[in-house]
Amino acid sequence: MRFTKMQGCGNDYVYVDCFAQKPPTNPAALSIKIADRHFGVGGDGLILICPSERADARMRMFNADGSESEMCGNGIRCVAKYVYDHGIARKPTLKIETGRGILTLDLEIRGDKVQQVRVDMGEPILEAAKIPTTLPGDPPIEVALPSSLTLQALKGTCVSMGNPHCVVFVDAITDDLVHRVGPKLETAEIFPRKTNVEFVMVNRNDDLTMRVWERGSGETLACGTGASAVCVAGVLTGRSARKVTIHLRGGDLQLHWAEAGNHVYMTGPAVEVFSGEWIGD
């Protein structure tokens, strides 16, 4: 099976072109093996680039633990780059089908290659039952999180960008927060489908820093849907403007929650790293 390794702000996945070859029979099991950083290719998971009857391509995304996720903001930028650069659809604006629906992506092309991608992430989902979470509020804004999980006073703001997020604003982002509190919140009963967890510092009202504990993958260097949720949460809590730069461990993303239309737009890089052949089972 041929594959291509790609990354967006260090959020790296193994991509399989299912236009050129048959999709794997068991992508969930394959994701666990191929994402292993010691015994596989290494990555945050597996993404299949598939034909679509409704768009230029369809993205299926599997986390490193084999679970399938609805969307990946960094992953979809790389899908768009692959679709354009490899001649599947040579258009400056692409439609990609995801578990979130069909998203529109505008490509920044230099030297006949895609360098950056602007993704229309759609409208944030703010109803607690649809996020989903059992925390109170539509959406839950600055709700106290269970001290049995956090061992300290923390408040969460919950947003879905097609997948669930719990955004926690803090004065300082620590390894203890990310690696101890993150996994406890991910699997807490208050999140029926688990959740991604973002820990965020406000530098200015247009400049934020975040680290993310991703549902099914652990800490990753970036999360596009997470950055989108942080942008929304920043506005909802009065901490930030609608246009922000968000610094992640793997690089920067530009976010804009537009008042007109209520859509969130994310702009960031997409990079092809290498290609190879997977000979494992």
Mind giving me the DSSP string for the chain? -EEEEEEETTEEEEEEETTTSPPPS-HHHHHHHHT-TTTSS-SSEEEEEE--SSSSEEEEEEETTS-EES--HHHHHHHHHHHHHTTS---SEEEEEETTEEEEEEEEEETTEEEEEEEEEEPPB--GGGTT--SSSSS--SEEPPHHHHSS--EEEEEESSSEEEEEE-SS--HHIIIIIHHHHHT-TTSTT--EEEEEEEEETTEEEEEEEETTTEEES--HHHHHHHHHHHHHTTSS-SEEEEEETTEEEEEEE-TTT--EEEEEE-EEEEEEE----
Q: The dihedral of CA 68, 74, 75, 77: what is its sign?
A: positive
Q: How far apart are CA 186 and CA 218, in angstroms?
A: 9
Choosing from 72, 78, 158, 166, the catalytic residue is 72
How many Cβ atoms sit within 10 Å of the Cβ of residue 166? Answer: 30
Contact 162, 71 (CB under 8 A): yes
Catalytic residue among 9, 158, 166, 223: 223
Known active-site residue 166: no
Contact predicate 227/246, CB 8 Å: yes
223 a catalytic residue: yes
Residues designated catalytic: 72, 223
